[in-house]
Chains A and B, each alone.
Chain A
Amino acid sequence: MGRTACAFVPRFELALRARAEPAVWDRCLAVVDWASAPPRLSCVTPAAEAVGIRVGQIATRSRARWPELVCLAPDAQLLAQAEREVLTALSSLSPRLDADGRGAFFLGLEGLERLWPSEVELLERLAALLTGLRLSARLAVAESPFVAWVGAQHLPRSGFIDEAMGEALLDRLPLAELDLSEPARELCVLLGLRSAGGLRRLPKGALAERLGKEGARLERLCRGETFPLWPTVQKMPRATEVVELDLELALEGLEPLLLALRSLLERLLAAVAAERKALVELTVKVRLDDRSQVVERFVPERPTLQSRGLLDLLHLWLERRPFADRVAGLRLEASRVAAADQSQLSLLRQREEQAAAALDQAIARLSAAFGASAVLFPRLNDTYRPEARLCWVNAQRSSGGDGRATKGERRVRGPELAAAFTGAPLTLALRQVDPPEPVALREAAFLTRSGQPVVRILRSDGPQKLSGEWWAQGFERSYYWLLLETGEIAWVFRDDLTGAYFLQAMAD
């Protein structure tokens, strides 16, 4: 096949994201292949690996194991763009190029002796190009693309691989690295093959005879007779996604039909999502026991991959009892589909949207049951007085997210908030006394509240002066923190205009 150089970028998809956000490597992130069933992790950060997350794990199980794991959808556009960028840069080194879409780039070196008398210089130039693209890669040069690929992946540093080293590398490469199908893997184990080296030493035709095309491909792969290594799969136009169910016993009734439709719908949506599409129109064909057929089309508000809205439409349709007889068969078709955007393919985004919808629903129910004044969100006011600083607004009026900061407020989110406010030690929470309750302080040593026994004050902290609102009634206060005999902490203030004391809040 000829001498080949391979540049392998580990964790390729995450490395592309890290170009814009280097902090990616410090976070527990994984890229999930949602098209596989069940969805599996295809790329993880070192921080995720440190807590036991591995490539190939089922996404839901990994999240259950480590809830802080952030799962990302593959970004096909980013991958394609980055591949084009890298191949364009590498075209200055060699006219024969290829990429496997997983971070490995191949340069054919046959016939380039005049252009690159020294392969060392070529590797240095290759490394510089990739560094210029902010990608860290391992490089290897070998007599075949396959050996170069294995060397780039498994050797600790870049280098040249001779025949003996190539043999040793292939002997150490486990079959799991070769992306075999299940029958191929079982056959290899039955034949006692554990490594790619064993495959290479098989008599020619041995695997092809048993496994057909895949066996022939594997043999050529291990002999280095395949270039490119993983031929790009051309996307063939697919027929409309269809799911069907023939019922052994004809169904009647809303609940059983809805149950059957729900499972079919979820299968259909999974198939549509696997093609990176979203459903625009759903066609339901119902075959009745009397051999007649009922056809109905449903168009959701917007292209969707969520079953909830479609199930609501199906529910409303079934409630109208559209069937003259019992149902003997169901057929769902994705009659129209559209390209799905990133948010539709992201499971996390869907969960956030569902949670927001559930919160809105809960607010509506609670407001209907107890009145709008009972369901509240806090809101900061631009005012001086602490008791007026925080007010409560009806949740229904402000639902839909009131995340905008008012003037002068500092918005801290995510990790910043977690670090600033939730780190040890815990910050004391207050219970407001609203309106501030008049109290009596005797000799600065005893606190008396109305209807309660006198309490001794052990320590005090203050005063902290506050005054303002001169354009209105105006106020001047001196605030004190009091540690009481009972162990409680009280926040009181003295009205400097009248000399009276008031209790503002108690810590709890």
Chain B
Amino acid sequence: MPAKRPRLSPGPRDRYTEHVSSLQSLKGLVLPIYPRLSTGIATLDDALSGGLPLGKIVEVSGSPGSGRSTLALSIGLRCLARGQAIAWIESRPSFWPLPAIEAGVPLDRLLVLRVSPDERLHATHLLLSSPGAVKMAIVDLSGSPRKGRGGVDEMTPLQLAKLHRLTERSSTLLLLLTDRLPDAASAGPLIDIRLHLSLPPGDRASRASIFDRRFEVSVLRHKQGPSQGRFSESLHGPDRLRLRSTL
């Protein structure tokens, strides 16, 4: 039997083995590529790998009263709570965050732009041209005539591409609120995620309280993950909006 070879001193290969064996297992650990903002709906956040990604365009469609503003404001309030700025761009002066502000939302980071429908796109471009100015921008495109001016349909591919580039460069989450139907096409191929909100059918009159209601969020498009999910969340108040006297 040949003599056993003497054991050689440890070489680079053993050092590699030593390093590899000390590595933490990444199995089951999901690391999102982009930082995310939570939507406030836990199941939806799980499906979206943690929330809506910064630097991307997200379309939130739904009929009036379906909860689009609620969802958008919920995400925005999380940014405000961290001291980050958000912007709301609209052409009809209807944004009214009174319940949130009554509760003490800081006002110095909530920016509202009221421009004509034709100017919404230009205003968004200017806002996103200052990287870091706002963490989230919500553009209210609801109420625009489908083939009218200033609506999402009016954006050419080049304009949408510019918007996408500016959004990515500024690492801002751009939320487009539209009133498209669920079976209508998204605003364009550069929309990364499309959520559709709807009110669940059923006898609403049978519920205990007028505010005892839920809304449903359907993921119609999700470029970085599985789409076609449906999630529901319950809503609350403001059943007693504080009409308080301070004088």
Contact = CB atoms under 8 A, between A and B. Distances in A.
| Co-complex (A, B) | yes
Interface of A: 52, 64-65, 67, 186, 189-192, 351-352, 354-355, 358-359, 361-363, 365-366, 369-370, 373-380, 382-384, 386, 389-390, 392, 395, 398, 401-403, 407-415, 417-418, 420-422, 424-434, 458-461, 464, 466, 468, 479, 481-484, 486-489, 491, 505-508
A430 B211 CA distance: 13
Nearest to A381: B246
Task: Please report whether the interface of chain B is mostly helix, strand, loop or mixed according to DSSP.
Answer: loop
Given A64-B35, A422-B40, A424-B40, A369 B67 contact: no
Given A362-B126, A377-B111, A413 B134 contact: no
Nearest first, the 6 A-B pairs at minimum CB distance are: A488-B65, A412-B104, A432-B96, A362-B133, A408-B246, A362-B130
A459 B93 CA distance: 28
Task: Please report whether the interface of chain A is mostly helix, strand, loop or mixed according to DSSP.
Answer: mixed
Contact of B69 (A355, A408, A425, A429): A429
Interface string B117-139: 00100110011011111100000
Given A358-B133, A378-B107, A409-B104, A366 B98 contact: no
B14 A362 contact: no
Interface in B231-247: 233-241, 243, 245-247
B103 interface: yes
Contacts of B78: 418, 422
Interface stretch (B80-88, B154-162, B183-191, B218-226): B80-88
Interface in B42-84: 42, 64-74, 77-78, 80-84
A265 B35 CA distance: 29
B209 A461 contact: yes
B81 A414 contact: yes
Interface in B134-191: 134
Given A378-B97, A425-B235, A417 B104 contact: yes
A143 B129 CA distance: 65
A359 B83 CA distance: 12
Contacts of B108: 377, 398, 401-403
Given A369-B122, A481-B239, A508-B67, A378 B204 contact: no
B130 A377 contact: no
B93 A434 contact: yes
Given A358-B132, A378-B112, A65 B40 contact: no
B211 A428 contact: yes
A370 B113 contact: yes
B99 A430 contact: yes
Contacts of B31: 65
Nearest to A395: B111
B96 A390 contact: yes
A439 to B, nearest CB: 16
Contacts of B211: 428, 461, 481, 489
B209 to A, nearest CB: 7
Contacts of B41: 424, 426
Given A370-B119, A373-B114, A428-B70, 20 more contacts: A189-B14, A190-B9, A359-B85, A362-B127, A365-B130, A366-B123, A369-B122, A377-B108, A382-B246, A417-B81, A422-B78, A424-B41, A426-B40, A429-B73, A430-B69, A432-B93, A432-B96, A459-B205, A461-B210, A486-B65
Given A377-B108, A382-B246, A431 B69 contact: yes
A340 B65 CA distance: 53
A390 B101 contact: yes
Nearest to B14: A189
Nearest to A366: B126
A376 B42 contact: no
Contacts of B65: 484, 486-489, 506-508
B45 to A, nearest CB: 11
B36 to A, nearest CB: 8
A427 B66 contact: no
Contacts of B205: 458-459, 483
A428 B15 contact: no
A491 B125 CA distance: 35
Contacts of A352: 83
Contacts of A468: 245, 247
B243 A479 contact: yes
Nearest to A404: B108
6 contacts: A384-B245, A386-B243, A429-B72, A429-B73, A479-B243, A487-B66
B211 to A, nearest CB: 7
Given A358-B132, A464-B243, A410 B104 contact: yes
A421 B77 contact: yes
Contacts of A386: 98, 241, 243
Contacts of A459: 204-205, 207, 210
B115 A370 contact: yes
Contacts of A373: 114
B94 interface: yes
B10 interface: yes
Nearest to B85: A359
A484 B199 CA distance: 12
B236 A426 contact: yes
Nearest to A421: B103
B116 to A, nearest CB: 9
Contacts of B72: 429
Given A386-B98, A506-B64, A355 B132 contact: yes
B170 to A, nearest CB: 9
